[in-house]
Structure 1
Amino acid sequence: MPSDATLVFYLMGLAAIMMASNRVRYDLIALFVLVALALSGILTPAEAVAGFGATIIIMVAGLFVVGEMLDRTGVARSVGDLILRHGRGQEVRLMIPLSVGAAILGSVMSSTAVVAIFIPIVLRIARDSGINAARLLLPMSFGALISGMLTLIGTPGNLAVSDALRAATGQPLGFFSFSLVGALVLLAMLLFFVLVGRHLLGPLTTDGTGRMRRTDRSFAELYRNHGFDRVEVLRLERDVTGSAARDLTRTAPRILSRWRRGPAGTPHTALFSIGMEFQRGDLIVVTGSDEEIARFGETPGVAPFRSFYKDMNRWIDTLGIMEIMIHPEAGIRGRTLSDLDFRGTYGLEVLGILRDTSRLGEMQSTPLRGGDRLLVAGPWPRLDGINAEGRDFVILEEPAERAQSVPNSNKLWIALLILAAMIGVSVGGLSITIAVILAAVAAVMTGTISANQAYRSIRLETLVLIAGMLPLSTALDKTGGADMIVDALLHMAGNDSPRAVLLALFVLTMSLSWILSNTATLVLVAPIAVEAALSMGVSPVPMAVAVLIAGSSGFASPVSSPVVTLVVNPGGYRFGDFLKTGGPLTVVVAAITLLVVPLIFPF
């Protein structure tokens, strides 16, 4: 065995051990590999850093921006809410759309981000329906994992597979080239969980909280901590202006906010202010005791609408609450809310003040003390900016629902149009790289995401991981290591059996993905799969697609991908849960790959 090839294999093994240990960042491991290849002389410095100029790096960076656009405009949350409305509390009717929704969204944005967004949605669904969250979270995360099998941009590793095919044949994979295979895998996964898998994940019902231990308090808990019994949404059945508006606000419990639909149909939320006028159809949020709210609900022209907590998404993007504390050395100590003109100065409404454990009855004229805890309401940007007011305030707690807020929900349809255009021009023949760049530029130009947010959304550690691992593939090719792996595969599987080689490549890729990241595995194995096919004189496309499918098949390990790792704690899963459900599912996916891929992509 040539010494250079031996060193490359040692580097691969060392990188795998370091990644499996979870003690060293993956991007640092990739940089270590890059530097080792350059210092050893296996690659020139230019070859070692060539990955940073690869097309795949630009494409992945653009996809991060597109994914952030979809996140900030509420696409994922809207899907979750739609599922909750139509699932009707039935496990299968909830599980199937959750899994399909995660798969579809993950095929066009970061699947890890999709799972992170869906976790609180699933937990809320579990809490409202009484269904064990563990029986919903794992199928949802598996759906997000399968998203990598649905489109070319489903995972960065797919782009590496496409690049390997382009380098060898001049013909990359299309946007939906392998979508049928992924759809069949998704269908098989759903059938498995409907018939068998969900019964392996604990009892159907729980106390409504799943297995997750919540540490953040909800809106309701923060309100109750400050003495507010209820928060309700009421609807006005008539216009209320002038003196009638003043009378209404005097008789009402504390009014927090008003929601109305503008002339163009655009919803608008405004924090309550003295002198505010109301019109027919306005929704108002009020808080107070049960008796106060019930009495106000009997006022002519006022009709109960629903609980604030069941109408949360209408308000959560614009109206927030936060508990803050007066800093012990604050310059505002000794001054009252009236002195400070708190509403005018900070743009926030003080709902209540706790001093020690007692609620202050008269807030406006009571001098503030260090340590006083204020419950304040207002727009999220104002709440977030309260910490910038010198050293006067300390943010103590924000509600758990804050994670569900979407800052640019009014531009959801713009984001969907940008996404549809990106996919459309890609299918129409435009380079996927150019299509992604255009989509990222359009996202900034239309205001669905700011330029600063776009740059912050680009995860440099992922780009460094890809760029650092690409030279390892070059080194394998340059030293003959790739030929050795191909020869070993052909020897074990049989040189005259393409299906056997395809299965061997599937097993190799899936096994490596349990140790390395999905992206790193596909970067390494894709050129090997292409070379194996060419050496056998068969088309490399089925081999490449099999590798691509295997790279997103890490169902049997909780550490195979962040997509599944994220649900371990919320679902209270053990390693055995993944083996019981993911093991049989992996066998099913391997069978589908072995039988279907050669039919769609002949050898």
Structure 2
Amino acid sequence: MPSDATLVFYLMGVAAIMMASNRVRYDLIALFVLVTLALSGILTPSEAVAGFGATIIIMVAGLFVVGEMLDRTGVARTVGDGILKFGRGQEVRLMIPLSVGAAILGSVMSSTAVVAIFIPIVMRIARDSGINAARLLLPMSFGALISGMLTLIGTPGNLAVSDALREATGQPLGFFSFSLVGALVLLGTVVFFVFVGRHMLGPLTADGTGLARRRDRSFAELYRSHGFEGVEVLRVTRDMRGEALGSLLAQAPRVLSRWRRGPGAGAQTALYNAGMELREGDLIVVTGDVAEIAAFARTPGLGHFRSFYEDMNRWIDTLGIMEVMIHPEAAIRGRTLADLGFRDRYGLEVLDLLRDATPMQEVQTVPLRGSDRLLVAGPWPKLDAINATGRDFVILEEPAERAQSVPNSHKLWIALIILLTMIAVSIGGLSITIAVILAAIAAVLTGTISTNQAYRSIRLETLVLIAGMLPLSTALDKTGGADMIVQGLLQLAGDDSPRAVLFALFALTMSLSWILSNTATLVLVAPIAVNAALSMGVSPLPMAIAVLIAGSAGFASPVSSPVVTLVVSPGGYKFVDFLKIGLPLTALVAAIVTFVVPALFPF
């Protein structure tokens, strides 16, 4: 055995052991592999670092930006809310649409892009439902991985298999030639996760108790803790201004905010003040005694719309509340809110002032003392800003819904247009890498995300992991190690049984896909599979489909595909997690390939 090939095999084994130990970060292992290949002379320095210039690295970086755009504009929240509504907080009802949706989308666009898009959606669902994200991310990721088994364009490697068939027989694969096999794998995978797999991915909740996660107090609960029993949204049914509006407000509970539909699909939310007029169709938030609000809602020109808490998504992005404490050494001690011109100075409304747990009646004229607690409302940027005003205020509590707010929700439709355009042009033939770069540029230019936010969204550890492992493919090819693996497995299977050769090809392709990229593996194995079938005098179609399915079956390795690697960090997975889940799934796919493929595509 050539010494260089031997070293590559040893290096692969050492890297696998280091990953299995879970004591060394995966990105550091990848750099160890890269440096070893360069120092040993197996690869030149340029070849060793070539992975950092690979198109997959650029694409993944761009997809992180697109994913951040979807999160900051509310697309992720909207999709997540839909899945949450369907799932009703039940893990299985959440997991199934995530897995199947990722598979379907990945069958017509980049599966890597699908996972990058779905990660913020899954994390938001996990946060809102209290379910451990690790029990949702891997099923979603595996669904996207299986997408390569559903259509001819599911993964670039499929085209290599089709080309090998066309060159040998003149008949390429059709768009849906093998979709039934992929659908069976997807069904088996979902069933496995429903009954077995999800229980192998840690506790149901992130805190490990298996109980509902303790959450911060909600918007409404925080209101009620300050004596505001009712928080309701009322609809204005006629225009009101001047004396009519003054008469209305004279009998009103506290009017906190007004929502008004703006031009097109836009909307405007603002703190209410006495100078604002009310128009038909406006919505207002009122707080106070429940009976008082109910009576006010029956006033001519008004009507009850719904509970503020039920209408949260309309308000949460622009209207927040926060409980703050006056710092014991604050410079504003002894001054009143009226003296400070608090509303004009900070752009916030003080709803309540507590002193030693006792509410003060004249909030605007009470001299402030250290440790007084204020309940303040207003735009989130204004709320955040008071924490940076020297030593005057200390933030005590934010509502649980703060995590759900998205700062650029008014640009949701722009983000959707960018996303759908990216998908459409990539399906239409434009390189997915170029499509992603254009989408990332459009995200910044349209203001859906800032340049600094775009750069901060890129996870360098994931890029280093992918780029550092890519040179292994080059090393195996350059040293002849890949050819040695191929020939050894084919000799072991023999040529008496087409089914045995088919299984050997499946095992070979799947094993190589744990190390090489999916595309590189299929480019390498597809011609061998076709030629092996022709030399045995049998149809090459089942052999070709077997290796195609195997190329998207890298369940047992965290570095088998960027589709899988992307979820390692957010899911907090260990190497052993992929073995526990991946090996049973691999056995399932092997059984389908060995027995179902020859039945559908006879030798």
Partner of 2:115: 111
1:82-481 mapped onto 2 (5 Å cutoff):
82-83=82-83, 96-97=96-97, 99-101=99-101, 107=111, 109=113, 111=115, 114-118=118-122, 120-121=124-125, 138=135, 142-150=139-147, 183-190=183-190, 211-481=211-481
Give the Å deviation of 1:92: 8.0
Equivalent residues of 1:76, 1:105 under 8 A apart: no
Distance change (3 Å), C-alpha of 1:99 and 1:292? farther
Give the Å deviation of 1:469: 1.1
Counterpart amino acid of residue 142 in structure 2: L
Decide which structure has the larger Cα Rg and report it: 2
1:531 pairs with 2:524:
yes
For residue 549 of structure 1, the aligned residue among 552, 562, 567 is: 552
Equivalent residues of 2:164, 2:526 under 8 A apart: no
| TM-score normalised according to structure 1 size | 0.78
SS in 1 for 2:269: strand
Counterpart amino acid of residue 142 in structure 1: P
1:338-357: per-residue Cα shift (whole Å, max 9, x none)? 22222222222222233343
Q: Quick check: 241-250 or 301-310, which moved more?
A: 241-250
Equivalent residues of 1:102, 1:140 under 8 A apart: no
Q: Distance in 1 between matches of 2:175 and 2:410?
A: 29
Q: Distance in 1 between matches of 2:91 and 2:7?
A: 52
1:503 pairs with 2:506:
yes
1:304-352: per-residue Cα shift (whole Å, max 9, x none)? 1111111111112221222233333332233222222222222222222
SS in 1 for 2:258: strand
Counterpart amino acid of residue 145 in structure 2: G
Q: Quick check: 409-418 or 302-311, which moved more?
A: 409-418
Q: Distance in 2 between matches of 1:286 and 1:32?
A: 61
Q: Distance in 2 between matches of 1:543 and 1:404?
A: 44
Counterpart amino acid of residue 266 in structure 1: G
Q: Distance in 1 between matches of 2:177 and 2:372?
A: 61
Partner of 1:517: none
Equivalent residues of 1:151, 1:179 under 8 A apart: no
1:62-96: per-residue Cα shift (whole Å, max 9, x none)? 22222222222222322233345567899987765
Give the Å deviation of 1:264: 2.5
Distance change (3 Å), C-alpha of 1:97 and 1:392? same
1:25-47: per-residue Cα shift (whole Å, max 9, x none)? 22122112212222222222222
Structure 1 unaligned runs (5+)? 127-132, 513-520, 570-574
Q: Distance in 2 between matches of 1:430 and 1:216?
A: 46
Give the Å deviation of 1:504: 1.0
Give the Å deviation of 1:480: 2.8
Equivalent residues of 1:232, 1:306 under 8 A apart: yes
Structure 2 unaligned runs (5+)? 168-172, 533-539, 559-563
SS in 2 for 1:324: strand
SS in 2 for 1:277: coil
Distance change (3 Å), C-alpha of 1:102 and 1:462? same
Give the Å deviation of 1:251: 2.5
1:87-123: per-residue Cα shift (whole Å, max 9, x none)? 7899987765455446567847463663553455467
Partner of 2:490: 490
Partner of 1:518: none
SS in 1 for 2:364: coil
Give the Å deviation of 1:261: 1.4
What percentage of residue pairs aligned between the two structures are identical?
65
Q: Distance in 2 between matches of 1:442 and 1:2?
A: 50
Counterpart amino acid of residue 443 in structure 1: A
1:140-165: per-residue Cα shift (whole Å, max 9, x none)? 8524531233379x9xx967x68998
SS in 2 for 1:309: coil
Counterpart amino acid of residue 524 in structure 2: E
Give the Å deviation of 1:473: 2.0
SS in 2 for 1:257: strand
Distance change (3 Å), C-alpha of 1:252 and 1:144? farther
SS in 2 for 1:269: strand
Partner of 1:50: 50
Q: Distance in 2 between matches of 1:410 and 1:358?
A: 39
**Count of paired positions:** 566
Counterpart amino acid of residue 398 in structure 1: E
Distance change (3 Å), C-alpha of 1:399 and 1:585? farther
| Structure 1 vs Structure 2 CA RMSD | 4.5
